[in-house]
Amino acid sequence: MDDFVSCESRRLSARVRRAERREESARFDSWAAAAATDLVLGLRQTALARACEFEVGTGQCVLVGDQLPNAMSLTGPWISSVCLSLRASRVFLYSSRVSGCAPYVHLLSLVPGPPGRHERLLSLPGARIFRGPDDGLRLEFLDADPDGRAGDVMPTDLLVVRAFARLVADDERSQNECLRLS
């Protein structure tokens, strides 16, 4: 009889542990979804401010929106984005996540191809989003990042600066290709 009680006790303990893990996972997923959304909203605000500075400095207008490219027509609580556009070039800052894992933010460069050719897509790693103090968020550099060591805190503004640098480089390359073809 003691073996039966002991076995039932272990089963009950295992069920309780599984339920606690599912509950903790659900809490983490809820935090991760909110953190990714908050980050993208913050990136959008920073991008809008940088777009104004860019226009004053260069006379060129960078549009800030949230449309994903057709090749990434994914929707759901696990992906959100900010789009920067300069003429025909676009760069997206987008967050992605998998249930139970820390979310990431990446850059996606979309450059128009020469006439008769498809657009080119280039995805670049950005940062990992981690839970900071008081359930806030912090960005951390990824492995092999030239601007910091993996695990160090990354300033949010750096992602926007990288997106603008990529956008300008893509635009210049696109303009040069157009000139070469004409």
pLDDT, one tens digit per residue, over 63-98 is 998 765 544 444 454 577 899 999 888 999 988 888
Gap between the Cα atoms of 71 and 106, Å rounded: 15
**Rounded to a whole number, what is the distance in angstroms from the first to the last CA of the chain?**
90
pTM: 0.79
Task: Give yes or no for residue 179 having a pLDDT over 80.
Answer: no
User: Which two three-digit tokens encode residue 41?
Assistant: 């909203």
Q: Collect all residues with Cβ–Cβ distance below 8 Å to 13 and sequence separation of at least 6.
A: none
Q: What are phi and psi of 119, to 5 degrees?
A: -65, 155
Gap between the Cα atoms of 49 and 100, Å rounded: 33
Q: Which of 5-14, 34-43, 55-64 has the lowest mean pLDDT?
A: 5-14
Residues 21-55 pLDDT 10s: 999 989 988 888 888 888 989 999 999 999 999 99
Gap between the Cα atoms of 61 and 57, Å rounded: 10
Q: What are phi and psi of 111, to 5 degrees?
A: -115, 130
Average pLDDT over residues 105-113: 84
